[in-house]
């Protein structure tokens, strides 16, 4: 490749299309001392360094799954929920069994991702899942049972919707009550386990979509923005209009 006879724009396009450069290509680029070429090469090297760091982070998030795999547990399901704290809407749980060794770029606790990133990663999780299930506990069930028990119910429902029976379950926070599978609860697991983080994103995106539907049904409360959480504007709307059928009666609104 004769980089020195290419324009800077052509080199930039080549780097974008090529993805990963060979050692020979890197050396040839180093020989081109144009400022634009040097900047492109530095940018490429920095991008590769960041990707290597990201791969290291993601591989660390597979440590629990890999240890279980060495013990003979091949199908490990991650479980997490979304919606324990809001004043309105259901609590949603997800269970997901990823293909062994799956690394999903930028995957982490769903609360640390933008809405756009969650949607993109949601699709990657579905593509890389051997099986996934979404479970819910309604507003009525939350009020009847309490939010903790309702969350456990949603998690069991998510597990029941898996098309493959898991050999083992990793769950964020607390053990799942009456779980029919061997399990391990990991505090902060949505940042420590690839499977739990994947479940976190599935649960969050699924719940956000439900809250958007509720917004169209009850537009006064801004569910499209607050997702049912107790923001100042949301509380003002409750004071002004009273609660709607989606609001949890067992929660304090003031």
* pLDDT greater than 80 at residue 254: no
Superfamily of domain 63-212 in CATH is: Ribonuclease H-like superfamily/Ribonuclease H (3.30.420.10)
Q: What is the pLDDT of residue 62?
A: 94
Write the DSSP assignment of 138-177 as a string of letters. -HHHHHHH-HHHHHHHHHHHHHHT-SS--SEEEEESSPPT
Q: What is the pLDDT of residue 46?
A: 86
* pLDDT greater than 80 at residue 18: no
The segment(s) of the chain belonging to CATH 3.30.420.10 are 63-212
The pairs formed by 109-117 with CB atoms below 8 angstroms and a separation of 24 or more are 109/190, 109/191, 109/197, 109/200, 110/82, 110/190, 110/197, 110/200, 110/201, 110/203, 110/204, 110/205, 111/190, 111/200, 111/204, 112/191, 113/201, 115/208
Q: pLDDT digit string (tens) for 187-202?
A: 999 899 999 999 999 9
pTM score over 0.95: no
pLDDT band at 51 (very low <50, low <70, confident <90, very high): confident
Return the higher-pLDDT residue of 36 and 82: 82
E strands within the chain? 76-82, 91-98, 129-137, 168-172, 183-186
Q: What is the pLDDT of residue 50?
A: 83
Mean pLDDT of the chain: 93
* pLDDT greater than 90 at residue 15: no
* pLDDT greater than 90 at residue 32: no
Q: pLDDT digit string (tens) for 87-124?
A: 999 999 999 999 988 999 889 888 889 999 999 999 99
pLDDT band at 159 (very low <50, low <70, confident <90, very high): very high
């Amino acid at each position: 490749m004769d980089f020195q006879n290419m324009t800077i724009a052509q080199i930039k396009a080549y780097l974008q299309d090529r993805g990963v450069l060979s050692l020979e290509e890197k050396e040839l680029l180093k020989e081109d001392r144009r400022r634009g070429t040097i900047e492109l090469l530095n940018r490429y090297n920095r991008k590769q360094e960041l990707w290597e760091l990201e791969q290291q982070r993601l591989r660390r998030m597979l440590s629990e799954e890999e240890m279980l795999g060495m013990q003979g547990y091949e199908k490990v399901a991650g479980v997490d929920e979304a919606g324990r704290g809001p004043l309105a809407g259901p609590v949603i749980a997800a269970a997901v069994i990823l293909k062994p060794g799956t690394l999903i770029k930028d995957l982490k606790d769903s609360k640390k991702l933008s809405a756009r990133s969650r949607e993109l990663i949601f699709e990657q999780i579905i593509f890389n899942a051997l099986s996934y299930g979404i479970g819910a506990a309604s507003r009525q069930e939350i009020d009847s049972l309490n939010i903790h028990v309702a969350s456990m119910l949603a998690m069991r429902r998510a597990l029941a919707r898996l098309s493959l029976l898991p050999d083992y379950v990793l769950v964020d926070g607390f053990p799942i009550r009456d779980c029919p599978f061997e399990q391990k609860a990991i505090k902060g697991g949505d940042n420590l386990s690839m499977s739990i983080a994947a479940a976190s994103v599935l649960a969050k995106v699924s719940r956000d979509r439900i809250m958007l539907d509720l917004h169209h049904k009850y537009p006064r409360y801004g569910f499209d923005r607050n997702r049912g959480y107790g923001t100042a504007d949301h509380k003002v709307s409750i004071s002004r209009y009273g609660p709607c059928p989606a609001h949890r009666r067992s929660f304090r609104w003031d």
